Amino acid sequence: MIRIRRRPSKKKAKGHFRAAQQNPSHNTLLSKNLEENTQFFSSLYEESSDVVFRSFVVGKKGATIIYIEGLSDTQKLDEQVLETLLDKNEFDETDFLLSIKNRLPISNIKKISTFSTCIDSIANGSPVLLIDGFEEAFSLGLVKFEKRSIEEPQAEGSIRGPREGFTESLGVNTSLLRRIIKDPALKMKTVHVGKYTKTKVVISYIKGLVDKTLIEEIENRLNRIQIDGVLESGYIEQFIEDNPYSPFPQLLYTERPDVVCANLLEGRAVLMIDGTPFSLVAPVSFFSLFQSQEDYYERFWMGTFVRTLRFLFLAVSLFLPSVYVAITTFHQEMVPTDLLLSLASSREGVPFPAIVEAIMMEIAFEALREAGIRLPKQVGSAVSIVGALVIGQAAVQAGIVSAPMIIIVSITGIASFMVPRYSIGLAIRMLRFPIIILAGFLGLVGVMLALILIIIHLSTLRSFGTPYLGPISTQQKNWMQDTFIRSPLWKMNTRPRLTGEYNAVRQGANLKPGPNKSGE
Amino acid sequence: MLEKGKISTLQMEFMIIPAIIATGVLSIPSISGKYARHDMWMTPIVGSIIGFITVYIVWKLHQLFPKLTPFQYSEKILGKVVGRIFSLFLIFFFLHDTGIVIRQYSDFITSNVMRETPSVVFSISITFVSALAVRGGIEVIARSAVICTTIFLCVSLVLLLLIKDVEVSYMLPILEDGLLPVMKGALVHTAWFSEFFLLAFIYPFINTRGKGLKSGMKASLYVMLLLLYFHLFVLTILEVSAVNQLYPVHSIIRSISVFGFFENFEIIITASWVLGNFIKVSVFLYVANLGIAQLFGLSNYQITVFPLSLLLVLLSYWDIPNIVGLVDFLTKIQPFYFILVQTVFPLFLLIIAFARRKRSESR
């Protein structure tokens, strides 16, 4: 039995030849001598007080269990493994390993034969059982570590919709997906990234809906990454983007399983990273960053209305301060007379030109907002009081800033919260400043030039090969169904077209509900 | 192939519509009104005939040489030497034309919106953003065009606020002096409608075969309807005095006043015209640039974009002394010059190509 098993393990060693050369001590096969093996591991884990070596005798043979405290279920290890092995019962000498395996009441038990797999198994929390006289060890699947329970997502709230959010542990997150999508076509490929963290990254997709080349491309980009560690999905995001210099996010991050599943069902791929509740969705378009899951859960009229509102406020948050600067500096004649009079009277005592005023106030607002996020919650209210009273009220009364400017800045601030995805909100916040400067120099023409520059940039941008402004600017079929408007679910018969292969039909035709339709 | 991008027919329409009317809407009404007077609203209809003819000629040429631009097939039709000279001529023609467009745009902005800013600021800025778009290739121009044109056309709806001021009797009497003044007025339009020759450079990059003619004709129709829309409002609000205005459409938008509050829309419409002109300059610059790359066998067309746009800014000042000179050029030279190059020359190309094909078939 052992001999037969040895061959494939040799082959495996050959396959890993290159890796073995880089790291010769790790990828060699286990030795027959228990002493040598334990020696190796104890030298590897020297100065690591949390690694436990437990030696004992099983049926006249020496054995050692190695595990890391806190990662493995010690109670089960004691009760199920040690108790069985230390039992006086005889083990079948002719096939010792098999008899041990058959005796142990553990469902997930694997034979491993190289040092590196042993190390991986120990690091992941599966205790390793080494037995004297055998070149193979057992990895006992008794992983148990402290994790956060499933909670409501903090960053993406909703009124109607599932309340479950992803957690930091990958196993929980994949199980959440499996619970929603039961079809075996849901695939999960694993890639390890990070030299020291060895973070598990799972590429999840639905076979038959997704373009195969997209998955290959994602894998290639992930395999290119050679960094020390991955601490958040942002690390991965920044290494696999199409255009790293763009201010716009080219992947969407979410901590909601329902969002992930919706995207999977539309033929996108999802990257789930161990250690963070945020998953990445690729490819995305500009318009998908303005979709919130609740648009689909509520009636389509509401969805459409809210979406229109979002795009309106996108324009407001990008252009309102700069349009104000342009109008007050260059195009006063555009303002109706009464309004102009009140504007002029409130700007009368203000010593700064509008552009300086606008930039000053926008920076102050951004600082307030940033301070509010980082501060402990108890202090946060103090910041808002100081911000509202001192900067708002007192600055106007002192005649440093005009009241209309305060109004403009606050409206802009509120407008930028309308964007359902935080990452694109950041881009908008940042772009506001150069636009204000352009408006201060060239008036509304400058604002238009800024708009053109943004449009050109967005037109050049791609996310994993799909045009960023699609499907609007690429004028695909059904380009309106899920962009500015959200058409009724029974009408969205096609999936959005991404790249390459395309599984168009989403649902049956003629799904429009109504009375007297049941029998048809 | 230099250009790897592919665009759809709808995107082509979005590109070509502002490429015709962006400057047309500025200056056509006052010039066509000079000749046609009460009947100026008919001029776009008559003028559009040239548009339909040009689209048809260009389409026939495209069918003969499906994957080539005029710079390439002129060589095949006219022979290597003559064809190259013709291509070179076309490139200079488009450079000149782009120069005029930039000049029209920057003159308009400086004389109406930003009176104290030197016009060179606007010509440089519009050329710069267009050059950026051209560097991205035809796909980027097309995608930007979809959004820019949508905004551009939506803002034009502002004119509907003028309906209460419309005086239909200004259109009477119809055809007082017969058809001749209308024909004369239409001649101005033909210069713009002959610009549908640009389609010849876009057709090779269309992803659906066989739909180009229909969408080209549709684009021509839309341009005609849009010009008709502007002309009707200009005529019914300003009467024949529109002739005295350099930019009559701009003038009528000034007079919009709703509830005494929504006034002075001209800034907004000027801002939207920036978008239209951006598409226009981009398309023209793209064609000139592609021509240079194809004629001289460059490996990519991106390298010539910025030098060429610098040249264009100079060219826009070199050719035209002042706004009066510009109007004079638009009235007296441009119609004949543009039709000759953009409609008559392609027609000759088509005839020669057919003759050659016939001869090779008969052998």
User: What is the ipTM for the molecules in this complex?
Assistant: 0.92
Determine the Cα–Cα distance for residues B115 and B191; give it in Å rounded to an integer: 29
CB contact under 8 A, B113 and A443: yes
* CB proximity A477 to B under 8 Å: no
In a domain, A85, yes or no: yes
Q: In angstroms, what separates the C-alpha of A443 from chain B's closest C-alpha?
A: 8
Band of pLDDT at residue B9, cut at 50, 70 and 90: confident
Cα A44 versus chain centre, distance: 34
Residue range(s) defining the domain that contains residue A369: 304-467
What is chain A's pLDDT, residue by residue, as a tens digit (520 residues)? 444 444 444 444 444 444 434 444 567 788 888 888 888 888 888 888 888 888 888 877 888 899 998 888 888 888 888 888 887 667 777 777 888 888 888 888 888 888 888 888 888 888 888 888 888 888 888 888 888 888 888 888 888 888 889 999 998 999 999 999 999 999 999 999 998 888 999 999 999 888 888 999 999 999 999 999 999 999 999 999 999 999 999 999 999 999 999 999 988 999 999 999 999 998 898 888 888 888 889 888 998 999 999 999 999 999 999 999 998 888 888 788 888 888 888 888 888 888 998 998 889 888 888 887 788 877 777 777 777 777 778 888 888 888 888 889 889 988 888 888 888 888 998 999 999 999 999 888 999 999 999 999 999 998 888 888 878 776 677 777 788 888 888 888 888 877 666 777 888 888 888 887 765 5
* CB proximity B275 to A under 8 Å: yes
Counted domains in chain A:
3
Determine the Cα–Cα distance for residues A371 and B161; give it in Å rounded to an integer: 47
- The predicted-structure confidence for B174-188, as pLDDT tens digits, reads as follows 877 788 888 888 888
Residues A410 and A442 in one domain: yes
- Which residue is associated with the tokens 């790291």? A23
Band of pLDDT at residue B1, cut at 50, 70 and 90: low
* Alpha carbons within 13 A on the beta-carbon side of A58: 27
* CB proximity B49 to A under 8 Å: no
In a domain, A380, yes or no: yes
Measuring CA to CA, which residue among B315, B284, B288 is closest to residue B124? Answer: B315
In a domain, A500, yes or no: no
- Which residue is associated with the tokens 């997150």? A173
Q: In angstroms, what separates the C-alpha of B39 from chain A's closest C-alpha?
A: 33
Residues A275 and A313 in one domain: no
* CB proximity A243 to B under 8 Å: no
Residues A92 and A189 in one domain: no
Q: Say what the pTM is.
A: 0.88
Residues A320 and A372 in one domain: yes
> Mean per-residue pLDDT for B233-240?
84
Strand, coil or helix: what is B298?
coil
Give the DSSP H or E segment for B335: helix B334-339
In a domain, A165, yes or no: no
Residues A113 and A259 in one domain: no
CB contact under 8 A, A475 and B274: no
CB contact under 8 A, B11 and A474: yes
pLDDT at B88: 92
The two structure tokens encoding residue A295: 């648009």
Q: Where are the domains of chain B?
A: 9-362
Determine the Cα–Cα distance for residues B102 and B120; give it in Å rounded to an integer: 10
Render B121-187 in DSSP notation, one character per residue: HHHHHHHHHHHHHHHH-HHHHHHHHHHHHHHHHHHHGGGGGGGGG--GGGGPSTTTT-SHHHHHHHH
- The predicted-structure confidence for A294-329, as pLDDT tens digits, reads as follows 888 988 899 899 999 999 999 999 999 999 999 888
- The predicted-structure confidence for A146-162, as pLDDT tens digits, reads as follows 888 888 888 888 888 88
A/B interface, count of CB pairs below 8 Å: 93
Among residues A467, A482, A498, which one ends one of the domains? A467
Q: In angstroms, what separates the C-alpha of A517 from chain B's closest C-alpha?
A: 37
| Contact indicator for A505, A494 with CB cutoff of 8 Å | yes
Residues A417 and A315 in one domain: yes
Q: What distance, in Å, lies between the first and last C-alpha atoms of chain B?
A: 32
Residues A136 and A183 in one domain: no
Residues A116 and A234 in one domain: no
Domain B9-362, what architecture? Up-down Bundle (1.20)
Residues A278 and A312 in one domain: no
CB contact under 8 A, A442 and B263: no
**CA trace torsion A403, A407, A408, A413 (10° rounding):** 140
